[in-house]
Structure 1
Amino acid sequence: MSDFDQMGIVVDWLDACRKGDLRSLIDLYTDDASLECQCGCTHLYRGRSELEAYWGSRLGALSSAGFGLEEISPAPQGVELEYSIAGSLRIRASFGFSVDGKISRTTCAPARQNPMDCSAC
Structure 2
Amino acid sequence: MLARFDLTNHFDEMAAVVDWLDCCRSHDLEALLDLYADQARLECACEGSRISGRSALADYWRPKLSTVAADAFGLEEITPQDDGVVLDYLSYEGKRVRIMFVFDALGKISHMRCAPSSR
Indicate the TM-score class for this superposition, using the shorter chain for normalisation.
0.7 to 0.9
Provide the rounded CA distance (Å) in 1 between the counterparts of 2:108 and 2:69: 22
Does 1:13 pair with 2:17? no
Would the alpha carbon gap of residues 27 and 63 (structure 1) be closer, same or farther in structure 2, given more than 3 Å must change?
A: farther
Provide the rounded CA distance (Å) in 2 between the counterparts of 1:98 and 1:15: 20
- Contact map agreement 2:65 2:92 (CA 8 A) in 1: no
CA RMSD of superposed structures (Å): 2.1
How far does residue 33 in structure 1 lie from its aligned partner after superposition? 0.2
Bigger-Rg structure (1/2)? 1
- 1:7-59 deviation line (CA, Å, top 9, x unaligned): 0000000000000000000000000000001003x211001110011001211
- Structure 2 equivalent of residue 4 of structure 1: 11
- Structure 2 equivalent of residue 71 of structure 1: 77
Which of 29, 45, 64 does residue 22 from structure 1 map onto? Answer: 29
Total equivalences in the alignment:
112
Does 1:31 pair with 2:38? yes
TM-score (norm: length of structure 2): 0.86
- Segments of 4+ moved more than 3 angstroms: 85-88
How far does residue 66 in structure 1 lie from its aligned partner after superposition? 2.5
Would the alpha carbon gap of residues 86 and 39 (structure 1) be closer, same or farther in structure 2, given more than 3 Å must change?
A: closer
Which of 50, 54, 70 does residue 56 from structure 2 map onto? Answer: 50
Q: 1:78-117 residue pairs with structure 2 within 5 A?
A: 78-85=84-91, 88-113=94-119
